[in-house]
C-alpha cells in the first residue's frame, strides 16, 4: 500500500507542478496560444492541451474568441481573498488612499515575493500623465524604490540582490558594490529613491513597513513622472511617505 502511494505521488507531482506553472504563466502573460505554452514549457501540445482542459474544467482558465487561453476571474477572486486577509494590506490601505489624496500621485503598497516586489494595493493618479501599474504586478526588487528599501532592511537582502543579478537579464549591468553602498544610504536616511528604474521617465520614493521585530514586511511607494518627482521634490515626498509608514507601523504594532 505504501509503495503504491509513493509511486502515485511520483507520477502525479510533476503533472501538478506543470499545471500550476501553466496557470502562473497564463495569469502573467494574458491570452496565450497553445503553441506558445508548449514552447515555453518544452512539452508536447497534447500534454499542454490536457493540462489546460483540467484547468478549464475547474474554472481556473478559459478560452477567448480567438482560441487563446487565459486565466479566469476565479484566479483573480482567489488572489483577492488571500491579499485582503493580509494584515499588512489591511493596515496600510487607508494610508495608501490618504497619501494619494495628499499628493495627487500614484501610491502603491508592495510586498516581497522571492526576489520580486508584488504590488498588492495601488491608487492611480488622476492626471493624464501618470505612473500606471496594476495590482498583482511583479518587478525585480532592485529596480524600484519599494524593492530597494525592503532589500536594504532585509536579513537576506544581499543574497536576494545576488539572485536578481544572476537571473534577471536586465540586471546584468547592475553594480553590486554600488547597490550595497546605496542600501547603506537607504538605511541611514530611511527611504529609497528610484529614478527611471524599471520604467523610463518614472521616479519613485518608498519607505519600509516593519513588523514587531523591525523586519520589513512591505513598503509604501509614491510613484510619479520624473518632472513631478524631481531631485528637488524628493525630500518633501519622502517625508510624506515616511509619515504614512510610521502610522502603518504604529497600527501593526498595536495588533
| pLDDT tens-digit map of 120-147 | 999 999 888 887 787 778 899 999 999 9
The three cell numbers of residue 51 are 493540462
pTM equals 0.75
Residue with C-alpha cell 540582490? Answer: 161
Answer yes or no: CATH 1.10.10.10 is held by domain 2-77: yes
Smallest CA-to-CA distance from 111 within 129, 94, 91 is with: 91
Contact 230, 205 (CB under 8 A): no
Alpha helices per DSSP H over the chain: 2-29, 34-41, 45-57, 73-84, 87-103, 145-153, 157-167, 176-189, 234-253
Task: Please say whether the beta carbons of 191 and 131 come within 8 A.
Answer: no
95: nearest Cα among 253, 255, 245: 245
> CATH 3.30.450.40: which residues of the chain?
86-253
Q: What is the CATH number of domain 86-253?
A: 3.30.450.40
Q: What is the pLDDT of residues 180-235, one digit of tens each?
A: 999 999 999 999 999 988 888 999 999 999 988 889 999 999 999 999 999 999 99
Tens-digit pLDDT profile for residues 34-82: 999 999 999 999 999 999 999 999 999 999 999 999 999 888 778 777 7
Q: Do residues 149 and 191 touch, judged by C-beta distance below 8 A?
A: yes
Q: How many CB atoms lie within 10 A of CB 217?
A: 21
What φ, ψ does residue 243 adopt, rounded to 5°? -65, -40
CATH 1.10.10.10 residue ranges for the chain: 2-77
Amino acid at each position: 500500500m505504501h509503495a503504491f502511494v509513493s509511486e502515485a505521488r511520483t507520477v502525479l507531482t510533476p503533472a501538478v507542478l506543470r499545471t500550476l506553472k501553466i496557470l502562473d504563466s497564463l495569469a502573467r502573460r494574458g491570452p496565450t496560444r497553445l503553441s506558445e505554452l508548449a514552447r515555453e514549457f518544452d512539452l508536447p501540445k497534447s500534454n499542454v492541451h490536457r493540462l489546460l482542459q483540467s484547468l478549464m474544467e475547474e474554472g481556473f482558465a478559459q478560452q477567448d474568441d480567438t482560441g487563446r487561453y487565459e486565466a479566469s476571474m476565479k484566479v483573480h477572486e482567489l488572489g483577492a481573498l488571500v491579499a485582503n486577509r493580509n494584515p499588512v494590506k489591511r493596515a496600510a490601505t487607508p494610508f495608501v488612499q490618504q497619501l494619494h489624496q495628499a499628493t495627487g500621485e500614484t501610491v502603491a503598497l508592495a510586498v516581497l515575493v522571492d526576489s520580486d516586489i508584488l504590488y498588492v494595493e495601488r491608487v492611480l493618479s488622476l492626471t493624464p500623465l501618470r505612473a500606471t501599474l496594476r495590482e498583482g504586478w511583479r518587478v525585480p526588487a532592485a529596480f524600484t524604490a519599494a524593492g530597494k528599501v525592503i532589500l536594504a532592511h532585509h536579513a537576506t537582502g544581499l543574497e536576494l540582490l545576488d539572485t536578481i543579478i544572476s537571473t534577471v537579464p536586465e540586471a546584468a549591468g547592475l553594480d553590486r558594490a554600488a547597490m550595497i553602498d546605496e542600501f547603506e544610504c537607504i538605511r541611514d536616511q530611511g527611504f529609497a529613491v528610484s529614478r527611471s528604474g524599471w520604467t523610463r521617465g518614472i521616479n519613485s520614493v518608498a519607505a519600509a513597513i516593519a513588523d514587531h521585530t523591525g523586519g520589513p514586511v512591505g513598503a509604501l511607494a509614491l510613484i510619479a513622472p520624473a518632472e513631478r518627482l524631481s531631485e528637488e521634490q524628493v525630500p518633501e515626498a519622502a517625508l510624506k511617505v515616511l509619515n504614512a509608514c510610521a502610522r502603518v507601523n504604529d497600527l501593526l504594532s498595536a495588533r
